[in-house]
Amino acid sequence: MMKSITKRALMAGCAFAFAAGIVAGPAAAQDFPDGPITLVVNWPAGGGGDRAGRLLAQYGEKYAGVPIVVNNIDGAGGSTGVRFVAEAEPDGQTVGIFGSSIVAQQYINPNAPAVADLAPISFFGPDPGALEVRADTGIETLEQFIAALKENPGSIKNGNDAPGGWSYVVAALIEKAADVQMTKVPYKGYSPTVAAIMSGEIQSATLPVPQLVDQAKAGDINILAVTADERHFMAPETPTFKEEGIDLVAGDWRAVFAPAGVSDEVKAKLEEIFTKTVEDPEFQEAAKNVGFVIQPKGAEETGTYIAAFDENYYPVLLDAGLVKANQK
Amino acid sequence: MYGDFLGHLTGVLGTPELIALSAIGAILGIVLGCLPGISSTMSLAILLPVTYAMAPEAAIVFLIGVFSASVYGGSISAILLNIPGTPGAIVTQLDGYPMARSGRAGEALTIALFSSTLGGIVGLLVLMLIAPLIVAGAMQFRSPEFAAATVFGLTMLAYASPGSTFKGLMAGLVGLVCGMVGFDTVTDTPRFTFGTTLLESGIDLVPLTVGIFGLAEVMRTIELGSAKTAAVERIGRLIPPWRSLLGLWGSIGRGSILGAVVGAIPAAGSAIAVAVSYTQEQRLSRHPERFGKGAPEGIAAPEASNNACVGGALVPMMTLGIPGDSMTAILMASLLIHGLRPGPMLFADRPDFVAAVYVALFLALIFTLIFGLVFIRQIVRLLQLPPNILLVIVTLLCFVGAFAIRNNVDDVIVMVAFGVIGFIMTRLKIPIAPLAFGLILGPILEENLRRALIVSDGSWLVFVERPISATLLAISLLAVLYPMISPSLRKGLKVGRAKRLNDVE
């Protein structure tokens, strides 16, 4: 019943688009962008993904020459918004800003669209992971943290996302790299995790640095290390895992995607718009204030980055028993 | 802090730009909040980019104006159309709409407006005066406490449907089950989706309430044949007699305090505050049978709660840098863009800015009250549209509202389905409000129960070892046993009252 309605609506839509196409002539790349560009955010308004999307839309209009409209399409662990872009007309008018969850969801959720249904356009930036503990645990270094867990496995309760989410992956990667075992406690997003570590329900968290930097300055939290190649600009005194002798570099990231069928010309134009935006100094200043690490990359480089990420990430999901579809 | 506030208030009052921004924010907030599907969160997110170019103080004055006013705005459509404008208003319509239907729309709106303003002021006072104290208490709320508080909320549910407790509980249980559809929050895997993408996004509170209240009402009106009943012919007096407002002080007071406290607990949210304060009023009322049929207390308490939540939600944001809900998360983002990071450091280092936030909330409350009073007559006139046109508008708003909350077509289908379910339930005389309450409380109970057990390594004792959790469970038990022991208790009360009367004479 529902399917037939959707199908009919789709057919009507196609017929309309076809008729419009005849009147207007086939849309050529030089006509792009033709009207406002829709930037889909696959999370609700107010979160980090939404903040990134709205910044990009605000500063991107200068380079697009048309308005960029943010559309929050939320649901199904982020998959609803991704599907909306994957199934959109590949004319470049609909793009989305998505994070690493698109890689996870294609394995966790049999109904989620595959990353291959999307064409990477431009990189926004990495969102490196970090390990924080409550100051009252007395743990001040990564070494002490690992020693405490080696002595008493599972004794430290770590706050993180549910298994598909990013901060869970960071926790799982730390366990693997340092060969320790903590108790991973799931929370619904970053803010409840912050509240839980402040309330003392959990002793450690694997949140990105900006989430807890102020509490660290106030002396309630110790940030032990970041899972990046370089130290984080908001916590310059915190070492990286590599500096501490553990080979762990892992980060969530955000990037702009178009539907996979987009033509090369339109793709090039989109790449130009969004890469220039991300390189814009005013944009970078605003993004830095919110705590985003910005790292411009072109379409090809973004694609390589995501492929490498997929490679590293898959075993973690497999270990966690989360691979339910598209098994490799 | 108090001196800072007054100093800042006079400063702001001498700055026409800031006053204008607060006023514009309040108007936009009322309008956006009133539109079904545009929640307070959405209103703030839409208007956030406008503030990028403003000075930080101007940005916060504007956004808090939008935030606070949108909370009242949500109750306008709830009262007049039976469609909640924002999720926090879902309870307001239980009595607001019947009141409007009986020709007392103006009165209902005014009660909502005054309760909102008073609730907002209580929230502000809590924020200004005892924020550190409240936040210390709120931080005692861990997973076991959340679970216990939800159990308490569920026992109150039994009272939410007088006359047919059994049917009410059944409806509540259906609501609980509906809350389990979609992604499991603990394991992150889809469940109860029957393999369709339709149910993967779960059953959201807004489409469900829009369906069971709004669309079901449209169907019922059509069924009755004469569309006449849809429209409210008489507006009635706008301002209720002062005495009746005064009579609500107890409800407003209880609702406000509950709202401010629940608001301060991170991640609790106004939906719980309004659900609990409504059932509590019904429980305490000497005429619980009037609830759902236009009881003024049924509007006053949840509206006061809803607005007191605003001040409450700012408590953890200002003192700890933790956004308690999605609205404060956006407020935090707006400050971050200007390089201001709310939290313990800002609280200590920039008392001037902290005072500016208080002033912004105060102005927002005043402007909401002013605009609410000025426009009440125009707003109510909406109901005098020809009935058939009104029905079309309501139906349209049901569809728009269900869609716009997540821009998800699946939600529209969910809304229509629950419209039919709500219609059937009303025909079978099954109360529908417990369904919505079950949907609010179910996911919170499940998530926190399971998490509490993970943290306690599987020990159920955690719920009775922690004092707040144990107390909440004990009260819940009392609430369940109360009907069995109440006859003897009432007898005792009667004796006591008679004795007191004798003493007076």
Least Cα separation, residue B338 to chain A (angstroms): 7
Q: Does B240 touch chain A (CB under 8 A)?
A: no
Query: Are the Cβ atoms of A188 and B267 closer than 8 angstroms?
Result: yes
Least Cα separation, residue B457 to chain A (angstroms): 9
On chain B, the residues whose CB falls within 8 A of the CB of A196 are 142-143
- Is the pLDDT at B505 greater than 50? The verdict is no
Query: Are the Cβ atoms of B326 and A214 closer than 8 angstroms?
Result: no
Mean pLDDT, chain A, rounded, equals: 85
Least Cα separation, residue B49 to chain A (angstroms): 7
On chain B, the residues whose CB falls within 8 A of the CB of A202 are 455
Contact present, B266 and A191 (Cβ < 8 Å): yes
Chain-centroid distance, C-alpha B205: 12
User: β-strand A251-259 against A94-99: which pairing, if any?
Assistant: antiparallel
- Is the pLDDT at A11 greater than 70? The verdict is no
3-state secondary structure of A95: strand
Ordered DSSP codes for B15-81: -HHHHHHHHHHHHHHHHHHHSTT--HHHHHHHHGGGGGGS-HHHHHHHHHHHHHHHHHHHHHHHHHH
B466-486 in b/e burial notation, b at 16+ Cβ within 10 A? beebeebbebbeebeeeeeee
Decide if B484 is inside a domain.
no
Query: Are the Cβ atoms of A162 and B188 closer than 8 angstroms?
Result: yes
More confident residue, B176 or A24: B176
- Is the pLDDT at B446 greater than 70? The verdict is yes
pLDDT at B163 (0 to 100): 57
pLDDT at A21 (0 to 100): 40
Mean pLDDT of A216-245: 92
For the domain covering A34-126+253-319, report its CATH number: 3.40.190.150
Mean pLDDT is highest, among B3-7, B138-142, B363-367, B378-382, for B363-367
pLDDT tens by residue, B371-416: 998 888 788 777 777 778 888 888 888 898 888 878 888 899 999 9
Query: Are the Cβ atoms of A47 and B326 closer than 8 angstroms?
Result: yes
Mean pLDDT is highest, among B122-131, B265-274, B330-339, B415-424, for B415-424
Ordered DSSP codes for B159-206: TSSTT-HHHHHHHHHHHHHHTTSEE-TTT--EESSTT-STTTT---HH
Q: Residues near B502 by Cβ (< 8 Å), separated by ≥ 6? A: none
Mean pLDDT is highest, among A154-168, B110-124, B279-293, for B110-124
Instruction: Read off the pLDDT band of A8 (50, 70, 90).
Output: very low
pLDDT at A267 (0 to 100): 93
pLDDT at A9 (0 to 100): 45
Give start-end residues of each CATH 3.40.190.10 domain in chain A.
130-226
Mean pLDDT of B124-140: 83
The proportion of chain B whose per-residue pLDDT surpasses 90, expressed as a percent, equals 25
User: β-strand A37-41 against A94-99: which pairing, if any?
Assistant: parallel
**A103, A106, A212, A214: best to mutate for the B interface, most B CBs within 10 A:** A214
pLDDT at B230 (0 to 100): 47
Instruction: Read off the pLDDT band of A32 (50, 70, 90).
Output: confident
- Is the pLDDT at B451 greater than 90? The verdict is yes
* Cβ count near A263 (within 10 Å): 16
Contact present, A187 and B451 (Cβ < 8 Å): yes
Nearest residue on chain A to B417, alpha-carbon basis: A2
Phi, psi of A14 (to 5 degrees): -65, -45
Mean pLDDT of A210-231: 90
Task: Give the domain extent around B172.
Answer: 2-224+236-465
Mean pLDDT, chain B, rounded, equals: 83
pLDDT tens by residue, B230-255: 445 555 666 667 777 888 899 999 99
pLDDT at B491 (0 to 100): 63
Q: Does B190 touch chain A (CB under 8 A)?
A: yes
Quick one: A79 exposed, middle or buried, by C-beta within 10 A (0-12, 13-18, 19+)?
buried
Query: Are the Cβ atoms of B408 and A192 closer than 8 angstroms?
Result: no
Phi, psi of B225 (to 5 degrees): 90, -60
On chain B, the residues whose CB falls within 8 A of the CB of A44 are 41, 326, 406
Mean pLDDT of A16-36: 56
Instruction: Read off the pLDDT band of A264 (50, 70, 90).
Output: very high
More confident residue, B28 or B132: B28
* The CATH number of domain A130-226, selected from 3.40.50.300, 3.40.50.2300, 3.40.190.10, 3.30.2130.10: 3.40.190.10
* Cβ count near B53 (within 10 Å): 9
- Is the pLDDT at A12 greater than 70? The verdict is no
pLDDT at B353 (0 to 100): 85
Helices (H), chain A: 2-24, 48-64, 79-86, 101-108, 142-151, 166-178, 190-199, 209-217, 264-279, 281-290, 299-319
Residues 32-71 of B with CB under 8 A from A: 41-42, 44-46, 48-49, 52
The DSSP letter of residue B241 is P
Ordered DSSP codes for B199-212: TTT---HHHHHIII
Nearest residue on chain B to A193, alpha-carbon basis: B322
Q: Cis ω on the peptide bond leading into residue A113 (within 30° of 0)?
A: no
On chain A, the residues whose CB falls within 8 A of the CB of B182 are 75-76
Decide if B149 is inside a domain.
yes
Mean pLDDT of A240-247: 92
- Is the pLDDT at B199 greater than 60? The verdict is yes
Query: Are the Cβ atoms of A2 and B413 closer than 8 angstroms?
Result: yes
Give start-end residues of each CATH 3.40.190.150 domain in chain A.
34-126+253-319
Domains in chain B: how many in total? 1
Phi, psi of A258 (to 5 degrees): -120, 170
Name which of A47, A111, A213 is nearest B197 (Cβ-Cβ): A111
Query: Are the Cβ atoms of B48 and A54 closer than 8 angstroms?
Result: yes
Among A35-44, A46-55, B107-116, the minimum mean pLDDT is found in: A46-55
Query: Are the Cβ atoms of B410 and A108 closer than 8 angstroms?
Result: no
Decide if B69 is inside a domain.
yes
Mean pLDDT of B330-345: 78
Mean pLDDT is highest, among A257-261, A284-288, B51-55, B342-346, for A257-261
**Cα atoms in the 13 Å half-sphere on the side-chain side of A52:** 27
Q: Which structure tokens are listed for A184?
A: 């991973």
Contact present, A255 and A98 (Cβ < 8 Å): yes
Mean pLDDT of A264-274: 93
pLDDT tens by residue, A56-109: 999 999 999 999 989 888 877 788 899 999 999 999 999 999 998 898 888 887
